[in-house]
């Protein structure tokens, strides 16, 4: 029990330290210039910044599967997440707004999510992606008190990232 409490406290403090420690960069890809974030960000930052309208627009059209929400809600006190995305990445623009809509519907505290934005080479301001061997985005890593339970990379192995995320979360102790 002490180990669980210690791991939970450390995880909470670690995630809290991630809160919006980012830089803004210019992404110049194939002749198109855009705004890119690097480092620890939040969903509220993406919602507020007009450069990332895709976040709110995607959330607005998505309705999470009830079974996925139920499974995650059943584990909400046991799990936390480390998430890597690219604000420039089409896969991230699809998955991450949906991920947050699922989190909200499940009643999971957003403070249990460490969201890190990376550049096109999968580098971030604090080298977290390299340390965790992230090679594709988005990558959603699920943890419990014992450590990493699993990852959903891009759309997942089946193309149903949400169902894979719920299946990983069900392993939590």
Domain count, the chain: 1
- The parent domain of residue 14 ranges over 2-169
Given a cut of 60, whether residue 7 has pLDDT beyond it is no
Please compute the mean of the pLDDT values over residues 77-105 and round it to a whole number.
Answer: 98
| DSSP string over 87-130 | TT-HHHHHHHHHHHHHHHHHT--GGGEEEEE--TTS--TT-HHH
> Quick one: residue 151, left, alpha or beta (phi over 0 = left, psi -120 to 50 = alpha)?
beta
- Return the minimum-mean-pLDDT range out of 7-16, 36-45, 91-100, 112-121: 7-16
What is the pTM assigned to this prediction? 0.87
With pLDDT > 90 as the criterion, what percentage of the chain qualifies? 79
User: What is the spatial distance between Cα 95 and Cα 51, in angstroms, rounded to a whole number?
Assistant: 18
- CATH number for the domain spanning 88: value is 3.40.30.10
Given a cut of 60, whether residue 5 has pLDDT beyond it is no
Given a cut of 90, whether residue 103 has pLDDT beyond it is yes
Question: What are the beta bridge partners of residue 139?
Answer: 84, 153
């Amino acid at each position: 029990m002490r180990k669980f409490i210690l791991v939970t406290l450390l995880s909470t403090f670690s995630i809290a330290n991630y809160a919006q420690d980012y830089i803004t960069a210019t992404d110049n890809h194939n002749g198109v210039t855009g705004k890119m974030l690097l480092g620890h960000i939040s969903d509220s930052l993406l919602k507020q910044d007009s450069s990332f309208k895709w976040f709110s627009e995607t959330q607005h059209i998505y309705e999470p599967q009830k079974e996925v929400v139920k499974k995650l809600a059943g584990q909400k006190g046991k799990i936390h997440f480390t998430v890597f995305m690219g604000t420039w990445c089409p896969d991230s623009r699809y998955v991450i707004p949906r991920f947050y809509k699922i989190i909200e519907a499940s009643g999971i505290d957003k403070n249990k999510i460490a969201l890190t934005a990376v550049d096109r080479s999968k580098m971030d301001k604090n080298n977290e992606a390299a340390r965790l061997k992230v090679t594709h985005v988005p990558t959603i890593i699920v943890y419990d008190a014992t450590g990493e339970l699993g990852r959903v990379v891009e759309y997942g192995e089946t193309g149903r990232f949400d169902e894979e995320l719920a299946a990983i979360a069900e392993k939590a102790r």
